[in-house]
Amino acid sequence: MPIALITGITGQDGSYLAEQLLAKGYTVHGMIRRASNFNTQRIEHLFNDPEIYNQRLFLHHGDLTDSSNLNRLLEKIGPNEIYNLAAQSHVKVSFEVPEYTAEVDGLGTLRFLDSIKEVGLEKRARFYQASTSELFGLVQEVPQTEKTPFYPRSPYGVAKLYGYWIVVNYRESYGLHASNGILFNHESPRRGETFVTRKITRAAGRIREGMQEHVALGNLGAQRDWGYAPEYTEMMWRMLQQEQPGDYVCATQETHTVREFCEHSFAAVDMPLTFEGEGENEVGRDEKGIVRVKVNPNYYRPAEVELLIGNPEKARRELGWQPKVTFAELVQIMAKADWDLAKKEKLLAA
Ligand code: NAP
Ligand code: F7E
């Protein structure tokens, strides 16, 4: 049975990928960071299953800033497939911790590739790198494809640009089976709560249950190509099953504004919103005229990515991959899950 190593297994994507690989019969090793609180909530169901944990799922402490740890892990595990999903993944936060972001997202990728070489796994192990649509930043072409020139707009995007090119370089220099998935935004009920989609669906549920008055957001006009995360992790696996490595855009080829995401989310909890005003004065009101969405410029970014929309034609053609969950369905899935969560929280608080 194949052996996989996932960095970032405690994150949104890592948790879905671990489930999918276990279901395919893999032995899965995950790297986790030491934390002062439990950071394994997203994989708790796997962790608590005695037939899985320490049988086919193994967790190891580690960090992408620690090369000796990476060497040891690779030697001990001897994986056939490596999914490098670990990252400081928040774009706005990357402006506040640019050096750390470069260490983990840029140099961390190099450390990993070099460890593979160092321990002699370059013929055995296939490598997936979590590249991103943030590479396109100030977009040079619409829609974006694998051939669109990059123009990152944040320390996160620039760090990931290094990650992208070092993967290409190790592939070309040392024959590594190393691939970049250029994934556009993908979301789910497991999305971190500080990303805009989850922030909105969490707020919609809590506002609907009377637990919160309104939500403050930044740029309501930003447009994103939002897909459903489990479909994107399935695509990661497909990339590593290819005879030849390559780089693939993974997207829905639809784009929507943050404002539209709000409209769909609040409609899903039976609180339709109407937006009025402009810029910092724009608000979203419910049917009673109560303001439920406000703008707070603190959430603006020093440089913004205004529009993303990807063309996944290469992935469709070569990997047979096509997203099925639509934008409207994605919002429904997330809004419903967060409404249920708010109801539970309310019961517990009562
Ligand atoms: P996420 O939920 O933020 O998860 C990130 C994971 O990386 C977590 O497990 C985190 O551990 C771990 N991590 C952070 N710093 C680390 C370090 N120094 N050493 C080891 N592990 C570290 O991110 P995601 O949404 O699942 O995304 C997965 C990957 O895809 C990331 O590389 C992200 O940049 C990239 N990506 C995401 C999207 C998207 O829309 N989701 C799109 C394109 C690319 P803790 O749990 O301990 O924090
Ligand atoms: O922002 C705007 C914000 O933080 C989306 C990461 O997974 O996808 C993600 O990066 C848009 C931006 O995601 C708020 O300005 C408005 O234009 O949800 P986000 P992101 O920056 O697109 C890419 C592909 C990755 O690779 C990253 O790892 O929404 N926005 N108001 C807001 N964003 C946030 N977070 N919070 C707000 O209040």
CATH of domain 3-183: 3.40.50.720
User: pLDDT category, 200, cuts 50, 70, 90?
Assistant: very high
Rounded Cα distance between 226 and 189, Å, is 13
User: pLDDT category, 277, cuts 50, 70, 90?
Assistant: very high
Write down the pLDDT at residue 102: 98
Region of residue 43 (phi > 0: left; psi between -120 and 50: alpha; otherwise: beta): alpha
CATH 3.90.25.10 in the chain: give the residue spans.
Answer: 196-223+256-306+325-349
State in Å: Cα 302 to ligand 2 middle. Answer: 13
- HSE-up of 23 (CA within 13 Å, CB side)? 8
Write down the pLDDT at residue 44: 97
- HSE-up of 108 (CA within 13 Å, CB side)? 27
Burial, 160: exposed, middle or buried (Cβ in 10 Å; 0-12, 13-18, 19+)?
buried
Write down the pLDDT at residue 121: 97
Pocket test for ligand 1, best of 20, 39, 89 (most atoms within 8 A of CB): 89
The DSSP element (H or E) to which 127 belongs, if any, is: strand 126-132
Write down the pLDDT at residue 81: 98
Rounded Cα distance between 151 and 312, Å, is 19
Q: What does the radius of gyration of the chain's CA atoms come to, in whole angstroms? A: 20
User: pLDDT category, 66, cuts 50, 70, 90?
Assistant: very high
* Dihedral over alpha carbons 105, 108, 109, 113 (to 10 degrees): 180
List Cβ neighbours of 68 (8 Å cut-off, separation of 6 or more).
none
Write down the pLDDT at residue 177: 98
Contact 85, 21 (CB under 8 A): no
Rounded Cα distance between 228 and 226, Å, is 7
User: pLDDT category, 273, cuts 50, 70, 90?
Assistant: very high
Q: Is 132 a catalytic residue?
A: yes
Rounded Cα distance between 17 and 234, Å, is 7
What mean pLDDT value characterizes the chain?
Answer: 98
Rounded Cα distance between 176 and 242, Å, is 13
Rounded Cα distance between 322 and 242, Å, is 16
Cα–Cα distances (Å) from 232 to 17, 128, 201, 315, in that order, read 9, 13, 20, 11
Q: Are strands 223-224 and 256-257 parallel, antiparallel or unpaired?
A: antiparallel
- HSE-up of 151 (CA within 13 Å, CB side)? 14
Strands of 283-285's sheet in order across: 215-217, 291-295, 283-285, 274-276
User: pLDDT category, 229, cuts 50, 70, 90?
Assistant: very high
Digit-coded pLDDT (tens) for 119-136:
999 999 999 999 999 999
102, amino acid identity: A
List Cβ neighbours of 94 (8 Å cut-off, separation of 6 or more).
88, 101, 154, 155, 156, 159
Write down the pLDDT at residue 211: 98
Contact 88, 105 (CB under 8 A): yes
Digit-coded pLDDT (tens) for 286-335:
999 999 999 999 999 999 999 999 999 999 999 999 999 999 999 999 99
Write down the pLDDT at residue 11: 98
Write down the pLDDT at residue 14: 98
Digit-coded pLDDT (tens) for 159-189:
999 999 999 999 999 999 999 999 999 999 9
Digit-coded pLDDT (tens) for 259-272:
999 999 999 999 99
Write down the pLDDT at residue 303: 98
CATH 3.40.50.720 in the chain: give the residue spans.
Answer: 3-183
Catalytic residue among 10, 101, 109, 132: 132
Write down the pLDDT at residue 174: 97
Q: Which CATH number fits domain 196-223+256-306+325-349: 3.40.50.150, 3.40.50.2030, 3.40.47.10, 3.90.25.10?
A: 3.90.25.10
Write down the pLDDT at residue 12: 98
Does the CB atom of residue 192 touch ligand 1 within 6 A? Answer: yes
Catalytic residue among 16, 26, 156, 248: 156
What residue ranges line ligand 2, CB within 6 angstroms? 89, 91-92, 132-134, 184-185, 194-197, 199, 217-219, 222, 224, 258, 299, 301, 304-305
- pLDDT above 90 coverage of the chain, percent: 99
User: pLDDT category, 117, cuts 50, 70, 90?
Assistant: very high
Residue with tokens 């556009």: 184
